[in-house]
Amino acid sequence: MTLLRFLVAIAPVLALLGGILVLRWRAYRAAALAWLVAVAGAATVYGAGPVLIASASAKGLSLTLLVMLIVWSAVFLYTLAADLGAVDSIARRILDSSGDPLVLGLLLAWTFSGFMQGIAGFGVPVAIVAPLMVLAGHSPVRSIAAVMIGHSWAITFGSMGSSFFAVQLVTGVDGAALGPPLALLFILPIFFTGLSVAHIVAGWGGVRRALPLVAAASGLMGALMWALNLLGAAPVSSMLPGLLGSLFLWLVGRGRSTNTTVARIDQVTPRLSFGWAFLPYGLLTLLSLLAQVPAIKDAAAGVSFALGYPGLRTAQGFAVPAQEAYAPIRLVGHPAPLLLLSAVLTYLLYRRRGLWKPGAVDRARRATVRQSTGTTVGVALMVMMALVVTDSGMAAVLADAAEELGGSVYLVAAPFIGLLGAFVTGSNTNSNVMFGPLQLFASQALALSTLTIAAAQTLGGSIGSGVAPDKALIGASVLGGDVREGEVMRRALPYGLLGVLLIGLEVLAVSLLGFR
Amino acid sequence: MKLRLSLFVVIISLPLLYISGAHLQDGQLSTWAIIFVTALCLWLLTPERNR
């Protein structure tokens, strides 16, 4: 019976993995199968009644609403900025910044791609930056692999912090408590991904030459990530460190020799100056920081939307506690209103300056719907599956099995679980939703810090999402020609696996030192 | 088109599942809501025409 319960508990995750990896389905199809498998298992073996299954699935949709509002707004602002020529103007300014291929490679694939992840995500850094790497003189495979590993440090706090929000919601960890230590743990992955880019771009010689530069930039970026989390500004905690790192490398690289490949493509004058190009994201940063001012926070404290869920119990006695306000969407505190306000202010200021393009909003709206619909359906079904697995008691059974591993082994394994989820689904958010409940129960069963395990999950998910096959596919489809995804994966994956092993050891060390 | 329709179904599933399961806690209504989502999932599992 115990083996049957374990097999039924792991079946939804296996259905999801099998659908994506073996049957090569798109994520939403595999997620549909996984929800069906979860519901069948919950009803037949775990004694979950229809009320509990419906309530758990509705909880999943509440969570989806919270996360996907961020995603839709972030994609809208990005597509609007791209339509207005802002993204092109920023990219050209960066290409013009240095003639040293190593510094330019780091600037593009490591810091600028991190900034792009901060504002957009969903493979946009690979789609935008990999062609720029090729223009800077690198081979297509090397370019895609460098951007894949290079932007992976920025994924958890990227896309306006959607993955960070997801891990909080499924593990119940407070964002204010998780953010600052998580940012400190990110300093090692930031440093490692920088050196990985240097290795891909210029081999071991490049690593030696880049070491002081990467160390200094990592320190600055990590410190800013930490400070922003202390201020409660998690949604801009990838965007601004990415921008700071880019600025640092731009200043360092300015005096270096001129590269002819780079100089040639800059003959086209960008549509916007850097200041005007950066305006939508400058406004967003300003609004995010204003939203943390106590007086504003207090004034808007009561303005939120959330559904309440009752306490329920399976026929086998597994109890689900009542939730008075599940996954609340706050007017001040949720990134979507800030993103939309930035778009409105951008419209007003661009129009006043004569920089506005007629029809931009409509084109951005259409592009947002095209880009986000499949993701939304996939995330909704996946999160519904995760909540059915949690509320029916399946995740608790999986956590009991994980207990057999022992605390130390589990601490090293936890980021690999995050990596696996992100690798399969191509998303740090999905990985956190899929494996967050398992990690929560395992941390309780093994008496480990839930905060540490939640951090390990999303750290592994961040790197795993960067080196996931969908990013290689995006890069290969953008660059076209003879680029093979398999070759890109072989180039990028070893860095991802080594990075996650280092994270596992970092988490183990932090835990052994007594930090909780 | 299939995805857009799926998105619509997902959006209306939230009130259906919430009202039947969490709010009214009615087993029969909850069963119908689950059947509704099951139908969506089975439809998503069928191969697309243009493949």
Confirm or reject contact between B10 and chain A (CB < 8 A): yes
The three state secondary structure string of A413-476 is HHHHHHHHHHHHHCCHHHHHHHHHHHHHHHHHHCCCCHHHHHHHHHHHHHHHHHCCHHHHHHHH
Contact A485, A476 (CB under 8 A): yes
Residue A447 Ramachandran class (φ > 0 left, ψ -120 to 50 alpha, else beta): left
Which residue of chain B comes nearest to A63, CA vs CA? Answer: B14
Interface test with A, best of B16, B26, B37, B40 (most A CBs within 10 A): B37
Which residues, in sequence order, are CB contacts of B19 under 8 Å at separation 6+?
B29
pLDDT of residue A265: 47
Contacts of A381 in chain B (CB under 8 A): 10, 41, 44
Contact A392, A55 (CB under 8 A): no
Do B22 and A36 make contact, defined as CB atoms within 8 angstroms? no
Do B18 and A308 make contact, defined as CB atoms within 8 angstroms? no
Confirm or reject contact between B17 and chain A (CB < 8 A): yes
Say which amino acid occupies A423: F
Which residues, in sequence order, are CB contacts of A94 under 8 Å at separation 6+?
A107, A108, A112, A132, A246, A250
Say which amino acid occupies A41: G
CA distance linking residue A71 with residue A286, whole number of Å: 20
Give the residues of chain A that fall short of pLDDT 70: 1, 255-269, 480-481, 515-516
Longest alpha-carbon distance in chain A:
72
Q: Are strands A323-330 and A304-309 parallel, antiparallel or unpaired?
A: antiparallel
Alpha-carbon A228 to chain mean position? 17
Contact A202, A102 (CB under 8 A): yes
The tokens for A276 are 């005007």
Confirm or reject contact between B38 and chain A (CB < 8 A): yes
Q: How many beta-carbon pairs below 8 A join chains A and B? A: 94
Contacts of A62 in chain B (CB under 8 A): 14, 18
CA distance linking residue B30 with residue B10, whole number of Å: 16
pLDDT of residue A69: 86
Contacts of A55 in chain B (CB under 8 A): 17-18, 21-22, 25, 30
Contacts of B44 in chain A (CB under 8 A): 28-29, 32, 377, 381
Do B22 and A310 make contact, defined as CB atoms within 8 angstroms? yes
- List per-residue pLDDT tens for chain B, 51 residues long: 788 899 999 999 999 999 999 999 999 999 999 999 999 999 999 986 544
pLDDT of residue B51: 40
Give ipTM to 2 decimals. 0.96
How close A163 gets to chain B, by Cα (Å)? 21
Alpha-carbon A99 to chain mean position? 31
Q: What does residue A254 show for φ and ψ, rounded to 5 degrees?
A: -55, -40
Closest CA to A30 of A41, A10, A40, A15: A15
The tokens for A43 are 């009803």
pLDDT of residue A261: 47
CA distance linking residue A426 with residue A237, whole number of Å: 21
Contact A156, A70 (CB under 8 A): no
Q: Which of residues 18-37 of B touch A (CB under 8 A)?
A: 18, 20-22, 25-28, 30-31, 33-34, 37
pLDDT of residue A257: 59
Tell the burial category of A368 from Cβ atoms under 10 Å away from its Cβ (0-12, 13-18, 19+): buried
pLDDT of residue A481: 66
The number of beta carbons lying within 10 Å of the beta carbon of residue A175 is 17
